[in-house]
Amino acid sequence: MTQIMDGRVLSDKIKNNVRKEVEQLRGFGIEVGLGLLLVGDNPASEQYFLATLKACKKVGITSYEFKLSGNTSVNEVLNVIHSCNTDERINGLLVLFPLPERINARRVVNEIIPGKDVDGLGAISVGRLAADESTFQIFREGSYELLHESRFRPSISSFLPCTPFGVIRLLEFYGVEMKGMHAVVVGKSLAVGKPLSNMLLAKEATVTVCHRGTYDLGHFLGHADIVCSATGVRNLIRGDMVREGAVVVDIGIKVLDDGTIVGDVDYESVKKKASLITPVPGGVGPVTISMLLENTLRSAQRNELLKSPLMMG
Ligand SMILES: NC(=O)c1ccc[n+]([C@@H]2O[C@H](COP(=O)([O-])OP(=O)(O)OC[C@H]3O[C@@H](n4cnc5c(N)ncnc54)[C@H](OP(=O)(O)O)[C@@H]3O)[C@@H](O)[C@H]2O)c1
């Protein structure tokens, strides 16, 4: 029988843990803070902005809101980032995407210092993931024995991008073995597809990455033990393309004209063949915000360790 991977269950679990640890820090007089920067009035970004504010409140993280109009200059945007970089109350900064077209998004994320890049999208965070310098974070709740290998040992301050990190956590939560499995990632964006493929590699899966230039997507999907799709193309993944017993993670989000939210996967036909499948909504989405909260908490904890070297034992 097909099992549904309910992201809300994992998300609640992560949020509860975050709330407890935030409270513990508060007991030592330490507040955890997240900066949120929204430029313009993209409705999807505004929705995510509000959802993040609500989630912060729920776990006791203080949010600092920066809302700029769509015609704000690049310098004004950079000024906000620079002031967050030096503001001790702010442990992490999330920039909502997309930014207005005339603003170079890469330039903006690269201005966030790695220690506060809790969405993990800056070039240093991306590089550290690719170099296996930050993948230890995905083993925290998983295979602890790997921490004995030097490449998985925590040594630096950067964070894994929230959505792909959430996918890995969801797979772990539902007991999906990744080592030795053939994982097919559909989509190669910097925010989702590429970091997810690196994380699956760190988990020792055999990884194939497909994209718009892939000639025969069905061929690769038909050989996949795990399918992770992040394209935003409705019904791209159909039941006849996946193999019996595959694990299917739908990261895509598309809002239809009537407001319905759908993913990349033709849920009904794929569900008949998959062993595990995520719904949309209610799959990867809720876990993404939880990972942002957890990354922000870890940033605060790390700052305190750095300030008090004796605590590092
Ligand atoms: N659930 C969540 O929390 C969450 C978080 C972030 C994003 N998302 C959703 O995930 C989706 C992807 O986000 P993104 O930021 O990665 O988007 P993106 O930057 O637009 O990237 C989309 C990727 O999909 C590929 N693609 C598009 N059409 C395709 C096709 N017909 N066949 C194969 N590959 C195709 C593109 O290939 P090329 O590179 O070759 O163009 C690209 O790599 C969106 O729907 C987004 O809303 C969800």
Residue 211 near ligand 1, beta carbon < 6 Å: yes
Specify if 211 maps to a domain.
Answer: yes
Please provide the average confidence, as pLDDT, over all residues in the chain. Answer: 93
Residue 195 near ligand 1, beta carbon < 6 Å: no
Mutate to test the pocket of ligand 1, among 6, 194, 196, 251 (most ligand atoms within 8 A of CB): 251
Predicted confidence (pLDDT) at residue 152 exceeds the cutoff of 80: no
Specify if 299 maps to a domain.
Answer: no
**Whose C-alpha lies nearest to ligand 1, atom 19?**
189
Q: Which pLDDT belongs to residue 260?
A: 93
**CA 222 / ligand 1 centre spacing (Å):** 20
Specify if 128 maps to a domain.
Answer: no
Structure tokens at 196: 């997810």
- Assign 157 a pLDDT band (cuts: 50, 70, 90): confident
Ligand 1 atom with least separation from CA of 289? 3
Predicted confidence (pLDDT) at residue 150 exceeds the cutoff of 70: no
Same domain, 95 and 182: no
Same domain, 169 and 265: yes
CA separation for the pair 133, 136 (Å, rounded): 7
Specify if 155 maps to a domain.
Answer: no
**CA 166 / ligand 1 centre spacing (Å):** 16
Q: Parallel, antiparallel, or unpaired for β 261-262 and 254-255?
A: antiparallel
Predicted confidence (pLDDT) at residue 199 exceeds the cutoff of 50: yes
Q: Which pLDDT belongs to residue 308?
A: 62
Same domain, 169 and 266: yes
CB 210, CB 231: distance < 8 Å: no
Kindly report the pTM of this predicted structure: 0.94
| Out of 142-146, 223-227, 287-291, least confident range | 142-146
Residue 210 near ligand 1, beta carbon < 6 Å: yes
Q: Which pLDDT belongs to residue 311?
A: 46
Specify if 224 maps to a domain.
Answer: yes
Predicted confidence (pLDDT) at residue 109 exceeds the cutoff of 50: yes
Q: Which pLDDT belongs to residue 312?
A: 44
Specify if 220 maps to a domain.
Answer: yes
**CA 187 / ligand 1 centre spacing (Å):** 5
| Mean pLDDT for the stretch of residues 25-44 | 95
| Mean pLDDT for the stretch of residues 74-89 | 97
- Assign 148 a pLDDT band (cuts: 50, 70, 90): low
For 201-235, the pLDDT digits (tens) are 999 999 999 999 999 999 999 999 999 999 999 99
Residue 230 near ligand 1, beta carbon < 6 Å: yes
Same domain, 269 and 189: yes
| Mean pLDDT for the stretch of residues 6-29 | 96
User: Is-cis flag, bond preceding 100, omega within 30?
Assistant: no
**Whose C-alpha lies nearest to ligand 1, atom 25?**
187
Specify if 174 maps to a domain.
Answer: yes
Residue 288 near ligand 1, beta carbon < 6 Å: yes
Compare 155 and 169 and report the one with higher pLDDT: 169
Predicted confidence (pLDDT) at residue 156 exceeds the cutoff of 90: no
| Out of 134-143, 164-173, 234-243, 279-288, least confident range | 134-143
Burial of 134 (0-12, 13-18, 19+ CB in 10 A): buried
Ligand 1 atom with least separation from CA of 284? 1
CB 5, CB 283: distance < 8 Å: yes
Same domain, 111 and 182: no
User: Number of folded domains in the chain?
Assistant: 2
Q: Of the residues 115, 148, 173, which one is the last residue of a structural domain?
A: 115
Residue 251 near ligand 1, beta carbon < 6 Å: yes
Ligand 1 atom with least separation from CA of 97? 15
Q: Which pLDDT belongs to residue 143?
A: 52
Predicted confidence (pLDDT) at residue 313 exceeds the cutoff of 50: no
CATH number of the domain residue 46 falls in: 3.40.50.10860
Q: Which pLDDT belongs to residue 136?
A: 82
Q: Which domain holds residue 248?
A: 163-285
Q: Which pLDDT belongs to residue 149?
A: 57
Query: Among candidates 205, 208, 232, which has minimal Cα distance to 219?
Result: 208
Specify if 83 maps to a domain.
Answer: yes
| Mean pLDDT for the stretch of residues 100-106 | 95
Percent of the chain having pLDDT more than 70? 92
Give the ranges where the chain is alpha helix by DSSP (H). 7-27, 43-59, 74-86, 105-111, 123-130, 162-173, 193-202, 217-221, 267-271, 284-307
- Assign 135 a pLDDT band (cuts: 50, 70, 90): confident
**Whose C-alpha lies nearest to ligand 1, atom 3?**
285
Backbone angles phi, psi at 55, to 5 degrees: -65, -40
| Mean pLDDT for the stretch of residues 140-156 | 53
